[in-house]
Amino acid sequence: SAVISQKPSRDICQRGTSLTIQCQVDSQVTMMFWYRQQPGQSLTLIATANQGSEATYESGFVIDKFPISRPNLTFSTLTVSNMSPEDSSIYLCSVKRGGDEAFFGQGTRLTVV
């Protein structure tokens, strides 16, 4: 397994502002992933973050809205920009370690008011 720490665990933000979520892994991993989990919906992949290259975004997600950094093999950030109430969700960082099973952080519960 992997130990994945996410910060903050929760936040309440004003619309129009931005929030940066941090993800720290206890050992080096090649691929890190950011997911969104909205009420009543399945986990949705936002983007894949590889160290040394630009993140790859899934359909419906764009870099201007969800910029991602991956400065090294143990750390990544996701920024939710120009937030609206529709961005209220749980955001989850995930990693894979050689196999195909994914491991998750505890999530960041975001409420936009």
Partner 1 sequence: QKEVEQDPGPLSVPEGAIVSLNCTYSNSAFQYFMWYRQYSRKGPELLMYTYSSGNKEDGRFTAQVDKSSKYISLFIRDSQPSDSATYLCAMSGIGNSGGYQKVTFGIGTKLQVIP
The site for partner 1 (CB under 8 A) is made up of: 1, 4, 6, 31, 40-43, 45, 48, 58, 92, 96, 99-107, 109
Least CB distance from residue 5 to partner 1, whole Å? 11
For the CB of residue 16, give the shortest distance to partner 1 in the complex, in Å: 27
Q: Would you say 112 and 87 are in contact if contact means Cβ atoms under 8 Å apart?
A: yes
* Closer residue to partner 1 in complex, CB, 17/38: 38
In this complex, which beta carbon is closest to partner 1, that of residue 15 or of residue 88? Answer: 88
The amino acid sitting at 78 is L
Residue 26: CB minimum distance to partner 1, A: 15
Q: Which residues of 32-44 are buried (b: 16+ CB within 10 A; e: fewer)?
A: bbbbbeeeeeeee
First to last CA, the chain: 36
The dihedral sign for the CA sequence 38, 7, 83, 66:
negative
Residue 1 vs 14, nearer CB to partner 1: 1
